[in-house]
Amino acid sequence: MAEKKKASLGLKLAYAALFLLILAAAVLGIHVSNLNAQVQYVNSLTPTPVPDYPPNMMQVTPDPSVTRAPILKTGSRGDAVKQLQLRLKELGYLPGAADGQFGPATETAVILFQQQHGLTPDGKAGPATTELLYSSAAKPFTPTPTPAPTPTPSAAPTDALSDTERLQLRLKELGYYTGAVDGSYGPATKAAVRSFQQAHGLAADGIAGSKTNAVLYSSAAKPFTTPAPGSEPWVRADGLPLLVNAANHLPSGYQTADLVMMRTYCDSSIVTIKGSEIQGERVAVDALMAMLRAAHQDGLTIWQVSAGHRSVAYQQQLFDDQVYAYRQDGMTRTQAEAKTRQTVADPGASEHHTGLAFDITVPGQQFSNTKQSQWLAQHCWEYGFIIRYPIDKVNITGISYEPWHIRYVGVEHSIRMRDEGLCLEEYIEKYGN
């Protein structure tokens, strides 16, 4: 009897111990899964309150399905970048489209966010920036009316200067402005601001607004550099050449300067505009009209423009329509896209995005067989245009001969390209830095 009682007590103790163990495991389990949820939630990049745990706790839970988000920086692309851009847009830091490509505009938006939140403004979305960005502590962009000038060894006492003088001084210091610091916001100052904005992916309106100033007077302001080919295909602020091809997509934040509706803008006795929607940049359209007037004087009177400026969205539509047509023919998506790329540029890769390219045709005729084609090849250079895809440069441009596609680069460049026999890729490689 006593033996039995003893045994039953032992059993009870064992059960109690087991119960405590299970309880402990359950509590721990809940804690671990809660932590996992928190980690996952950071990775899912949704705007919700910040989890308050020390960062190194993330490493305590070795869960292979939970990988830390990579640092997003210039050159990154994909859905994570798109989400980042959407969040930056939501908070008012990023203008333009969330295209999933981390370019200068995204970098600038990240810098602005970092500055406003006391983070190191390095323009990279690392863990600290990302965590704050998606937390409820993320503040929307608020303009800072008069940014404090950064102390520079060269600068005169800046508090005696007007805003415009200070702006000119700062732009000069960075190499964007070469004129006099006279306090007058003239075309040279405006061009310098535009150039600075372009280099930082800001809307290039030439107005030193709050966003521009926030970057301009920060340590994140980059000095002026003439872009190297392949890296930053901008040459526009100072001279026209700008490289847009399969390897150099239109820079994010690119803005056409001054588009005109060609049907209403152009003299219809000189040229027919095929589509009512066709637009071009004023500077290029003016040069085109001067050129075609000269052609008329040479006796060639029938000219048509069948393409001008195209937005990236429109190019996407052209691309998608062609893919759809091939898929209707029974191709797989991969096949259809590959086939489409033979004739339609990827969105972002078309020269027509620049607003400086036109397709010239003669109604009802194969253009390469026309006198107009010959005249264009001979004279377009004198008016600042180039035959963008010459017959002997196919291996460099990657585009088959297109005698009808002309591109405005400005007369000093077009003449040099003609004289040296260079296509745009070669020209920018030679003179682009």
Count other C-beta atoms under 10 Å from residue 314's C-beta: 15
| Closer residue to Zn ion, CB minimum distance, 172 or 353 | 353
Which of positions 59-88 make contact with Zn ion (CB under 5 A)?
A: none
Question: Both tokens of residue 239?
Answer: 């001279």
The answer to whether residue 405 forms part of the interface with Zn ion (CB under 5 A) is yes
H or E stretch including 93?
none
Q: Return the amino acid letter for 358.
A: F
Cα 369 to Cα 389: distance, rounded to the nearest angstrom: 17
Name every residue whose Cβ is closer than 8 Å to that of residue 140 and which is 6 or more positions away in sequence. 91, 92
Distinct helix (H) and strand (E) counts, the chain: 15, 7
To the nearest whole angstrom, how small is the minimum distance from the Cβ of residue 359 to Zn ion? 4
Q: How far is the CB of 305 from Zn ion (least distance, A)?
A: 10
CB of 307 to Zn ion, least distance (A): 5
Collapsing DSSP to helix, strand or coil, 258 comes out as: coil
Q: Is 404 exposed, middle or buried (0-12, 13-18, 19+ CB in 10 A)?
A: buried
Select 87 or 405, whichever has its Cβ closest to Zn ion.
Answer: 405
| Distance in Å, CB of 405 to Zn ion, minimum | 4
CA distance 278 to 259: 10
- 310 lines the binding site for Zn ion (CB under 5 A): no
**Min CB(357)–Zn ion separation in Å:** 6
- Measure the CA–CA gap between 244 and 350, rounded to whole angstroms: 7
Would you tell me how many other CB atoms lie within 10 Å of the CB of residue 304?
A: 18
Distance CA 200, CA 194 (A): 10
Residue number, 201 or 280, with CB nearest to Zn ion: 280
Output the residue with the shortest Cβ distance to Zn ion. 405
- Does residue 402 have an active-site annotation? yes
CB 152 within 8 A of CB 66: no
Q: Which is nearer to Zn ion, 113 or 358 (CB)?
A: 358
Contacts (CB under 5 A) with Zn ion, residues 132-191: none
Site stretch for Zn ion (CB under 5 A), options 75-83, 103-111, 116-124, 397-405? 397-405
Beta-carbon count within 10 A of 136 CB: 9
Question: CB-hemisphere CA count at 13 Å for 280?
Answer: 27
Number of residues interacting with Zn ion: please give it, by CB under 5 A: 2
Nearest residue (CB) to Zn ion, 17 versus 391: 391
Tokens of 39: 């980690």
Smallest gap from residue 127 Cβ to Zn ion (A): 45
| CA atoms of 66 and 36, how far apart (whole Å) | 8
User: In which residue are the tokens 């809940």 written?
Assistant: 30
- Provide the mask over 340-369, with x wherever binding to Zn ion is found by CB under 5 A and - wherever it is not: -------------------x----------
Nearer of residues 286 and 359 to Zn ion, judged by Cβ:
359
Pairwise CA distance, residues 98 & 75, whole Å = 14
265 φ/ψ angles, rounded to the nearest 5 degrees: -80, -35
Nearest approach, Cβ of 352 to Zn ion (angstroms)?
Answer: 6
Q: Does 393 bind Zn ion (CB under 5 A)?
A: no
Catalytic residue among 232, 337, 351, 402: 402
**Nearer to Zn ion among residue 359 and residue 382 (C-beta):** 359
Residues annotated as catalytic are 402
In the complex, which residues of this chain contact Zn ion (CB under 5 A)?
359, 405
